[in-house]
Amino acid sequence: MEPERIIQTQDLSKFYGPHMALENLNLDIKKGATGLLGPNGAGKSTFLKTILGLIQATSGEGTVLGHDIRTEGAAIRSRIGYMPEYDALNPDMDAINQVRYSGELLGMNPIVALQRAHASLQYVGLGEQRYREIKSFSTGMKQATKLACAIIHDPELIIADEPSNGLDSSAREFMIDTLINTVKQGNRSVLMASHLMDDVERVCDDIVLLHKGKLAAQGRIEDLKAIDREIEIHVWGGASKLEAAMIQRGMRVRREGRVMRITHESEELTSEILLCASQVGAQIRRMHEYEASLEDLFLVIMENLGYDVKSSEDLFKHPIHARKVDAPGHMGGGAS
């Protein structure tokens, strides 16, 4: 059976004056957990605001849970739960009343909202702390409170913007487990924007990768990883010669010291590698199929798009670099 679609866009574009934030975005996000990835300035925030119906797209169309993003923003926001990245809680209120109020803002009856606030806070692990003022909460507890605010009305789609940002390991584990539980046990969908690839990989089955407002990749993580199958070898002696020999034979080689990864394009690859090694007299002490992580996949895609990056940290931690690439040539950037 065809999986249910929760977000669909067709040629969705958004311009801020001359600056293009989203360009002809064609997305098809199905029910379940989906990761939204992209470097700073990729258009993630604009995309979220557009699907929330908070800003009007310049052109194109889209639906969220069957509602038109151009005309039914309020209906969309009634059916989704949004967990913002930044603080969105009144520090002088206690958690239970903050969550209750967030339910009332959706149109819930105050009594029902209070009951649901108790249930939501219990679910996110704050059952014992619900009467404490939010200013006394740790970052993890604040994140959990924001999640409780988002799920108080049992939304069909939860948009979590950097849910594990700034959390210590135990709080992060709990947040990730909670999101997984929400998808698996609660049968809800999650759209998770995060810079932490491990978290996205654990929670999500699919990803959407944006770059400069365009769709760089979309699909199941496993399928996307399969695109980037590689053989990893550990070489002793004659590594450079072996690299040259393999490149000469038309293999695609990535090398970091004595470790090389060769794109797995043919079934005879292993024998060809061994042949090259015997020809140049290099020792291969270890050879195995390399299972790419989501971060590797991300890097490969970004490299294909023209970025010179060593890790996703480079992109995420240095937005100036990313913006410089986006900037026109006469301003020092790489864009035409």
Residues that bind other proteins (CB under 8 A): 45, 48-49, 52, 54, 73-75, 77-78, 82, 84-94, 97, 100-102, 104-110, 112, 116, 119, 123, 125, 127, 149, 153-154, 161, 177-178, 181-182, 185-186, 188
User: What are the φ and ψ backbone dihedral angles of 63, each rounded to 5 degrees?
Assistant: -135, 145
Q: Which is nearer to other proteins, 87 or 303 (CB)?
A: 87
Residue number with CB closer to other proteins (188 or 195): 188
What are phi and psi for residue 207, nearest 5 degrees? -135, 155
Q: What is the DSSP string of 181-250?
A: HHHHTT--EEEEE-S-HHHHHHH-SEEEEEETTEEEEEEEHHHHHHHT-EEEEEEES-HHHHHHHHHHTT
**Cα–Cα distance between 52 and 73 in angstroms, integer?**
6
The answer to whether 205 and 35 have CB atoms below 8 angstroms apart is no
Cβ distance to other proteins smaller for residue 126 or 302:
126
In the complex, minimum distance from the CB of residue 93 to other proteins, in angstroms, rounded to a whole number = 6
Of 58 and 263, nearer to other proteins (C-beta) is 58
Q: What is d(CA 274, CA 16) in angstroms, rounded to the nearest whole number?
A: 55
Q: How far is the CB of 54 from other proteins (least distance, A)?
A: 6
CB of 175 to other proteins, least distance (A): 12
209, 217 contact by CB (below 8 A): yes
Cβ proximity of 305 and 215 under 8 Å:
no
CB atoms within 10 A of CB 63: 18
Cβ-based nearer residue to other proteins, 186 or 237: 186
Q: Among candidates 141, 150, 169, 153, which has minimal Cα distance to 112?
A: 153
Instruction: Give the shortest CB-58-to-other proteins separation in angstroms.
Output: 18
Least distance from other proteins to the Cβ atom of residue 28, Å: 23
d(CA 40, CA 242): 38
In the complex with other proteins, which residue's Cβ is closer, 126 or 239?
126
User: Minimum Å distance from CB 327 to other proteins?
Assistant: 21
Output 109 or 304, the one with its CB closest to other proteins: 109
Provide the minimum distance between the beta carbon of 224 and other proteins in the complex, in angstroms, as a whole number.
Answer: 26
Which stretch of DSSP H or E encloses residue 173?
helix 169-184
Cα distance between residue 214 and residue 192, in whole Å: 18
